[in-house]
Chain A
Amino acid sequence: GAVVSQHPSRVICKSGTSVKIECRSLDFQATTMFWYRQFPKQSLMLMATSNEGSKATYEQGVEKDKFLINHASLTLSTLTVTSAHPEDSSFYICSAREPLAGKYEQYFGPGTRLTVT
């Protein structure tokens, strides 16, 4: 089946610094990738949708200048949390859509746990 990886799996950074999270589709080309955020004991909330070669579409309430998303190739999307604050600490999960699998199929990465101290 289609595999999505994320790197790093865990990251700790200091308040005010930026951190980049990578999402890769390993064995398929992903025209669309999605970024979710999950706070402890809560559900996954969609942050943004990125299409290869175009600007990401952010969900309401998500600051596009704080969460920079780049989908430069069909196998890689990156999420950069800029000027991180402790409240940005969360579990970030990406997913990728494989066109051949059909419109509604998404494959999820293993997630990245971000802790901002």
Chain B
Amino acid sequence: AQKVTQAQTEISVVEKEDVTLDCVYETRDTTYYLFWYKQPPSGELVFLIRRNSFDEQNEISGRYSWNFQKSTSSFNFTITASQVVDSAVYFCALSEARDYGQNFVFGPGTRLSVLP
């Protein structure tokens, strides 16, 4: 069965600090996708990134970067020069195929507080 672990329940940083959110996953499938979502207080999930299991290239998008390491089953997310607007709950998710559709498994989430 698939599983996603986010060991950090809550993180507090001061604005402009860099912060890394950890994500470790378990799956028996060779084909799968990994995602990161941001959930601000409004509740709506904001899609950040999708990465497939065959693409281990790291990605940078502005202040955001992701490090995918299949050898350690990790897909970590780093925010550089954090801002107060980054305060939210961040979820890592895994999607693999099932007989009747696609199953998203979410990690428990990491609540990030960026203090001014």
Binding site for B on A (CB under 8 A): 32, 34, 41-46, 49, 51, 57, 91, 93, 95, 97, 103-106, 108, 110-111, 113
* Docked CA distance A106–B97 (Å): 13
Q: Are A108 and B45 in contact (CB under 8 A)?
A: yes
Enumerate chain A residues within 8 angstroms of B45, measured Cβ to Cβ.
Answer: 93, 108, 111
Q: Mark B74-116, 1 if CB is under 8 A from A, else 0.
A: 0000000000000000010001110011111111110100000
Query: Which residue of chain B has its CB nearest to the CB of A1?
Result: B47
* Docked CA distance A110–B44 (Å): 5
Apart from A104-B97, A110-B43: 14 A-B pairs, beta carbons within 8 A: A34-B101, A34-B104, A41-B111, A42-B109, A43-B108, A44-B104, A49-B100, A57-B101, A97-B101, A104-B33, A104-B50, A104-B95, A106-B102, A110-B42
> By the criterion of a CB under 8 Å from any partner CB, how many residues of chain B are at the interface?
25
Q: Are A44 and B106 in contact (CB under 8 A)?
A: yes
Q: Are A106 and B43 in contact (CB under 8 A)?
A: no
